[in-house]
Amino acid sequence: MGAQMGGRAIVHRTSQIARATPHGIILHERRIAPFAMLEPVGPDGSHSSYGYIMILLNNAIASIQVGVEDYIAHDERRALSALRNLHAGILLLAKEQLRRLSPEGSDEALIKQHIRLKRSANGALIPIGVGKKTVDVAAIKTRFADLRIPFDWAPLDRIQAIRNAIEHYHFRGTAAELRAALADAQELVHRLLVDVLREEPVARLGQKCWDVLLDQNAIIDKESRACAASLAPVEWLTQRALEAAEEGLRCPRCRSHLIKHQGAPVTDPAELDLVCGACGVEFGGQASLVATLNDDYYVDTHYSVSDNDPVITCPDCHAQTYVRDDAECAWCAFAMPAEARCSVCDAPLEPDEYDPTAERPLCSYHGYTAANDDD
C-alpha cells in the first residue's frame, strides 16, 4: 500500500511517539499510527477524504495501543503516559463518532469546538465547523447528549481523576489505581468501538492490546465482586442508600467503585470501615454515600431535573445526603416533621430552613427579618 516514502514516514513518526511519551504527547503532532493504512495522501499524491477518515480512527487506536504499551512496561515513570494516551485515545474514538454524524458539507462540524450556521439554497440551516480547534471533553459530552447517544462518562471521569492526581500532586499512582484505570479504559473502548462505532475491537486494536485491557477488567471484576460481598450484610436505613450501594458506592477521592469494607462483617452502616481499592483512601459509610449521591452521573440518572440542588445537607445528621425527591435523608432516614412550620407565618419549612434545636422555628424570610430586627 502506498509508496515506499510513505512507509518511511510512518516508521519515523512512530519513533517520535516513543520519544515523546515520558512528557506526554501533544496529540496533534501524533498523526501517524504504527500501521500502513492511515497515510492521508492517496497513492496519486492527492489528499483523499478516505485518508482523513482513517486518521482520526487510527490515531485513536494508536493512542490506546501506546497507552497499553506504556502500561505493560511496568515502569512507573510511564504511568502518566499510559493514562494520557488512553484518555486521548478514548476522546478520539468519541470524536470519530461525532465526525461520522457530522452533516455532509459541514466541514466536520460536530468535531469542531466552534460552529456557525449557514443557510443553504433551500433555506435549511446547516452547521459549519469553524477553525481548527476540536471539541474538548465537556463539548464531547454535550454533543453526545444532544445527539441522544446514551453514554456513561463516569469511567472517563475516573481516569481523568487519577491522571490529575498524578499530574498535579506528583503522585505516581499505585498499581491498583492504574489497573482500575485500564479496566475503565476497556469499558469505554468497548462501548465506543462496539456499541457506538460498530467496529471490532480485536481487529482494530490487535489481540495482544485487547487482551491486556480485558485481563485488567477481569481482575477488577473479581475485586468488585469481593467489594459487593463485603457490603452485602449492611442494613441501610433507606431504600435510596440500599440502591446506591447495590449500584456501587463511589470513592470520595477518585470515584472508583472498588469500595470494600475491611475487617469483620457489619450490619450497621455507621460501623463501616471502607477502603478504596483503586487509590487506597479510607473513609466511612457516610462519606461514601455522600460521594455516591452527589456524583454527576448519579445525579443525572436518578433525580428529577429542577433548579434546586437535588441533594442537600441533612438538618439532622448534617451530611450532604438529604434527597429532595425522596423527602428523606438517605443516610439517617430523617424526614421533615409535620410540625416543622414557621412560627410567624406557619409556612412549612424547607429542610435547609429547619433547625431541630431552634426554639422559634422560622422560614428563611422571617429568619432574615428577625435577624435584621435584632440589629
What are the cell numbers at 373?
430586627
| Cβ nearer to Zn ion, comparing 104 with 359 | 359
Count interface residues toward Zn ion (CB under 5 A). Answer: 19
Rounded CA-CA distance 223/233 in Å is: 17
* DSSP string across 62-128: HHHHHHHHHHHTT-GGGHHHHHHHHHHHHHHHHHHHHHHHSPTTSSSGGGEEEEEEEE-TTS-EEEE
Smallest gap from residue 313 Cβ to Zn ion (A): 9
| Cβ nearer to Zn ion, comparing 68 with 289 | 289
C-alpha distance from residue 245 to each of 29, 94, 227 (Å): 44, 30, 10
Amino acid at 358: A
C-alpha distance from residue 329 to each of 83, 136, 236, 275 (Å): 37, 36, 12, 24
| Cα 113 → chain centroid | 20
Q: Which one of residues 84, 163, 204, 366 is an interface residue with Zn ion (CB under 5 A)? A: 366
Smallest gap from residue 341 Cβ to Zn ion (A): 8
Smallest gap from residue 32 Cβ to Zn ion (A): 36
| Cα 292 → chain centroid | 13
| Cβ nearer to Zn ion, comparing 273 with 316 | 316
| Cβ nearer to Zn ion, comparing 56 with 227 | 227
10 within 8 A of 34, measured Cβ to Cβ: yes
Smallest gap from residue 352 Cβ to Zn ion (A): 13
| Cβ nearer to Zn ion, comparing 88 with 336 | 336
Smallest gap from residue 199 Cβ to Zn ion (A): 32
What are the cell numbers at 277?
481499592
| Cβ nearer to Zn ion, comparing 56 with 342 | 342
Which one, of 61, 70, 87, 80, lies nearest residue 23 by Cα? 80
| Cβ nearer to Zn ion, comparing 32 with 178 | 178
Q: Which run of H or E residues covers position 322? A: strand 322-323
Question: Which parts of 240-279 interact with Zn ion (CB under 5 A)?
Answer: 251, 253-254, 256, 276, 278-279
42 within 8 A of 51, measured Cβ to Cβ: yes
Residue 236 found at the interface with Zn ion (CB under 5 A) = no
Smallest gap from residue 170 Cβ to Zn ion (A): 18
Mark residues 306-345: x for contact with Zn ion by CB under 5 A, - for none.
--------x-xx-----------x-xx-x-------x-xx
Smallest gap from residue 212 Cβ to Zn ion (A): 22
The 3-state DSSP class for residue 55 equals: helix
Q: Are strands 112-119 and 328-329 parallel, antiparallel or unpaired?
A: unpaired
Tell the residue number behind the cell numbers 472517563, with chain if given: 156
Mark residues 344-363: x for contact with Zn ion by CB under 5 A, - for none.
xx-----------------x
Smallest gap from residue 321 Cβ to Zn ion (A): 6
| Cβ nearer to Zn ion, comparing 144 with 354 | 354
| Cβ nearer to Zn ion, comparing 199 with 316 | 316
Smallest gap from residue 166 Cβ to Zn ion (A): 13
What are the cell numbers at 159?
481516569
Residue 145 has a CB neighbour count (10 Å cut-off) of: 13
Residues interacting with Zn ion, by CB under 5 A?
A: 251, 253-254, 256, 276, 278-279, 314, 316-317, 329, 331-332, 334, 342, 344-345, 363, 366
